Structure 1
């Protein structure tokens, strides 16, 4: 059978195991807790894994494969030409997986969803009292703070016409100030903690690096009154919108930087594409010519381009929410992988084979091309 190995740095390692695993082996795993994650940030997956292992060890029906969460061990050494490797995490780790000796030797299929410095772009035509501007503020705040900024579609860069930076800065600070931070079990709290102390240190260090080229206007790396792993929503304003670190460092927390630009669509395209490839970029504009030029300029570098205007914004989900029918993935830094996309998302796990032969045999046995499609 085909082995599908899915890895995640922020989650756990999910491994497809053959039906042949017996109840004794399952019981052995359960007793010795071999499924316990070795990384603390994977602990949130620990209990579901325990429930799965206990259920199977108790004799419940095993169908195709079972998920195990924990250390992947030497599984990469056992992948073959018919297997698949899917990974979600940093670009650095994705490159290490792609370069694994056994993966290279057997040309194992690899699908990577990696870093993405997603950009939200406010076009110069959007008026302050418009529905589009209100959605811009709301969506940026949502995609900064949802999951404490620990999601691949979070907004990391906010492009704003230079003459409107003070206005946007003030409005975002006001909106972020309404976000209550605390125990996420309380519905009043809209911002929870980071996953663990290591992630907290990474985010604080990242804010420090960004602050070398940008001014912190809200939040920062200082401990909060709540203690623990909480980080105040942090907004910065770049002194130089072309500074390398702004387009290379993803701070995986509730952190985003305003990048002033002239209002030129060509400059917006240039700055956004400095990210080296992204999962999604969002544009807020009612100018159809500006929008068309922007889309054509950024599309080669992004898996998804989300467009808001007064005509559509009231019916749109925020850009950080991926619909199942939409492609989720992106070129370059974003990993070059692809997920979802309805039936298209299954292509990675299938082999497309061309059949050549007598039509009188092929059509009744395998179907016509139209029927196959």
Structure 2
């Protein structure tokens, strides 16, 4: 088989790593190598950051009006729509995500660019009612400069879009570092950025194995903002690196989200919500509803209905639109899932469904798994699996449900299934999570902020908050007096 070769995009040119090193990417559905990519190092990261910084300061980008930036973003969104099928297939081949999901994401992804495009010329400052009669003062939101965007392997294009679109709308430039396990779709997307008319150097992409390129980006003195999605352990290194350049940070670090089903819930909807929460995307989603909390009165019926629905999940080739679940994106992640399920068994969890690799598949597949747990202290209840594994627990009343829901260090998302509108609002208020869904799960919108608290990180992506977070506020004072300035040793 002929391997597909990719290059990096730096300053408008497609280039190899300066060292000439490359690495191979493996298709998780087959376990076979399918492409070759540049293995960037610190020198390549420095090259990309300096290109982005020069573009930020240069007239080709800096001289554009905000309205023109918005038009470029709208054009980019339109190009994504035109190339959606190709981008979806690339991403599925690279990370094993279902083609149904990648096509769905790509169909909606232009909305993020159109939304940010509309905000580009709406970032207004304000005049200040200054208490000094001879002074006029106003504020101006300004772009920060170079943004380093660190992208994981589970949803590369989506997670790139929610960083890149608001950053460009605000007038910044970017260096994107995709995961070594899923870079192909981002590199193809980068070609569309140039086609849309963005000046060279405004968007750059470097690829590579290991931490060298990523670490060099996050501590680079010219980087003013870091947008990171990944795990808490890597995030700690990013936070330490940002101490070198005082870059602003946003961190989206995953979760251990509770999906809470009350006695009065619509059973069919709740079961579908549970499946959507943890088995869609093979559980490789930051907002995965990996903790199912079910009230006593409905517990047995819910388990029976859920396991029956799980038995109908079709595991198969992610490029087949009839498949419901594809593989783990990496062999390492498959090993983590197996290890955590094995440890859960040792700690006393009962396997109600799944719990092993399915027969007849050569790639990195794992069965949809349901573990009955009686203690919230189990590792599988407290820590993110990032695979198709749900821990199910029962609760008696609202107080116990809330205590269980808030019983981990993560606080990204939660689902609430009830017909009681008062209870829904109380739980939405009292659950410690950045996103709460009521009688639905995994709904997203370009207008809705995404992000968590605690070990799930900080900062928000999506909505007007995201664009504002890629700016810094300048205050301008103008002396209106015709009189000479007074005593220089006295503060005005």
Task: Call closer, same or farther: CA 1:38–1:5 in 2, change over 3 Å.
Answer: closer
Q: 1:224 to 1:353 in 2, by over 3 A?
A: farther
Q: Which residue of structure 2 lines up, in the alignment, with residue 239 of structure 1? A: 374
Pick from 435, 442, 458 the counterpart of residue 304 of structure 1.
Answer: 435
Contact 2:310/2:368 (8 A) holds in 1: yes
Give the match's secondary structure for 2:243: helix
Following TM superposition, by how much is the alpha carbon of 1:321 offset from its aligned partner in structure 2, in angstroms?
2.6
Q: Which residue of 2 aligns with 1:282?
A: 415
- 1:214 equivalent to 2:336? Answer no
Partner of 1:10: 153
Select which of 237, 243, 260 maps to 1:121. 260
Q: Deviations over 1:286-309 (max 9, x none)?
A: 2233223322221xx21111112x
Q: Deviations over 1:76-103 (max 9, x none)?
A: 33134x6100111111111221122xx1
1:66 alignment partner in structure 2: 203
For each residue in 1:275-326, what CA deviation from the matched residue of structure 2 results, as whole angstroms up to 9, or x when unmatched?
223222110112233223322221xx21111112xxxxxxxxx421321111
* Counterpart in the other structure of 2:227: 86
TM-score by length of 2: 0.58
Q: What's 2:49 paired with?
A: none
How far residue 217 of structure 1 moved from its aligned partner, in angstroms, is 0.6
Runs (5+) with no aligned partner, structure 1: 17-34, 127-131, 309-317, 361-373
Residue 269 of structure 1 is matched in structure 2 by 402
Corresponding residue of 2:236: 95
Query: Would the aligned equivalents of 2:257 and 2:291 in 1 still touch at CA under 8 Å?
Result: yes
Query: Equivalent of 1:352, from 460, 463, 473?
Result: 473
TM-score, normalising length: structure 1:
0.76
Which residue does 1:77 correspond to in 2?
A: 219
Higher relative contact order (CA 8 A, sep 6+): 2
Give the secondary-structure state (helix, strand or coil) at the position aligned to 2:312. Answer: coil
Contact 2:151 2:178 in 1 (8 A): no
1:229 matched to 2:364? The reply is yes
Q: Is the alpha carbon distance of 1:232 and 1:64 closer, same or farther for their aligned partners in structure 2, counting shifts above 3 Å?
A: same
Aligned pairs (5 A) from 1:1-373: 1=56, 2-10=145-153, 39=180, 41-42=181-182, 45-46=183-184, 48-49=186-187, 52=190, 62-71=199-208, 72-73=213-214, 74-80=216-222, 83-100=224-241, 103-126=242-265, 132-211=266-345, 212-240=347-375, 242-262=376-396, 264-298=397-431, 301-308=432-439, 318-340=440-462, 342-355=463-476
User: Post-superposition shift, 1:105?
Assistant: 3.7
Separation in structure 1 between the aligned mates of residue 299 and residue 221 of structure 2, nearest angstrom: 51
Rounded Cα–Cα distance in structure 2 between residues aligned with 1:62 and 1:356 = 33
Distance in 2 between the 1:243 and 1:331 partners?
20
Partner Cα separation in structure 2 for residue 251 and residue 137 of structure 1: 20
User: 3-state DSSP class of the match of 1:353?
Assistant: strand
Question: Structure 2 CA distance, aligned partners of 1:161 and 1:352?
Answer: 48
- Change in Cα spacing, 1:174 to 1:358, as seen in structure 2 (3 Å) is farther
For 1:220-264, what per-residue CA distance to the aligned partner results, in whole angstroms no more than 9, with x for missing partners? 034533232111100111122x224244211111111111111x1
Assess, with a 3 A threshold, how the Cα gap between structure 1 residues 277 and 188 changes in structure 2: closer, same or farther: same
| Separation in structure 1 between the aligned mates of residue 480 and residue 356 of structure 2, nearest angstrom | 68
- When residues 105 and 174 of structure 1 are mapped into structure 2, their CA distance, relative to the original with a 3 A threshold, is same
* Structure-1 separation of matches of 2:411 and 2:188: 35
Partners of 2:385 and 2:471 lie apart in 1 by 35
